[in-house]
């Protein structure tokens, strides 16, 4: 089994795709207006409208920030990413900080409120 993607359901696919393109520096593939995919070397972040899960009825995910998920991206230099993104982020949760286990992390919320972590591992 292989994890294929993590999908975020949003009311505004265009806005969220632009945001994650800015964060990752990667272009989103847009196979349909209701769907976008940003593929990294290790996985894919899918961004989709509620139309993509409508067949689930009242059990479908609801657009808006998740309170139980953190989208995490491994980066080379957290401080450089913070400097690059700082002016464009509306909700910085944690400025670059070295965690007790050695990772360097910064956390912020995407436009829908989902928590995003950019982190680097300690040098060995």
The 10s digit of each residue's pLDDT in 55-106 is 999 999 989 868 889 999 999 999 999 999 999 999 999 999 999 999 999 9
Return the closest-CA partner of residue 17 out of 38, 43, 44, 42: 38
Domain 64-124 has CATH 3.40.430.10: no
Residue 121 and residue 79 in contact, taking contact as beta carbons nearer than 8 Å = no
Task: State pLDDT tens for residues 15-36.
Answer: 999 999 999 999 999 999 999 9
Across 35-62, average pLDDT: 95
Between CA 34 and CA 65 the distance in angstroms is 18
List the Cα angle 66/114/34 in 5-degree steps. 85
Output the pLDDT for position 64: 85
CATH 3.30.720.110 segments of the chain: 64-124
Output the pLDDT for position 107: 98
Output the pLDDT for position 124: 66
The residue behind tokens 């209701």 is 34
Domain 1-56 has CATH 3.40.50.2020: no
CATH 3.30.720.120 segments of the chain: 1-56
Determine how β-strand 115-120 pairs with β-strand 5-9. Answer: unpaired
Return the closest-CA partner of residue 66 out of 103, 1, 115: 115
Q: How confident is the model at residue 123 (pLDDT cuts 50, 70, 90)?
A: confident
Helix (H) or strand (E) holding 22: helix 13-24
Output the pLDDT for position 66: 80
């Amino acid at each position: 089994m292989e994890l294929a993607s993590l999908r975020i359901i949003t009311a505004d696919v265009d806005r969220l795709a632009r945001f994650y393109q800015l964060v990752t520096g990667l272009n989103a593939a847009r196979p349909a207006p209701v769907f976008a995919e940003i593929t990294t070397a290790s996985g894919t972040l899918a961004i989709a409208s509620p139309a993509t899960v409508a067949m689930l009825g009242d059990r479908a995910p609801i657009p808006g920030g998740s309170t139980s998920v953190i989208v995490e991206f491994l980066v080379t230099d957290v401080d450089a990413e913070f400097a690059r993104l700082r002016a464009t982020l509306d909700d910085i949760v944690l400025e670059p900080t070295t965690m007790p286990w050695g990772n360097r992390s910064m956390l912020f919320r995407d436009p829908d409120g989902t928590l995003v972590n950019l982190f680097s591992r300690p040098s060995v």
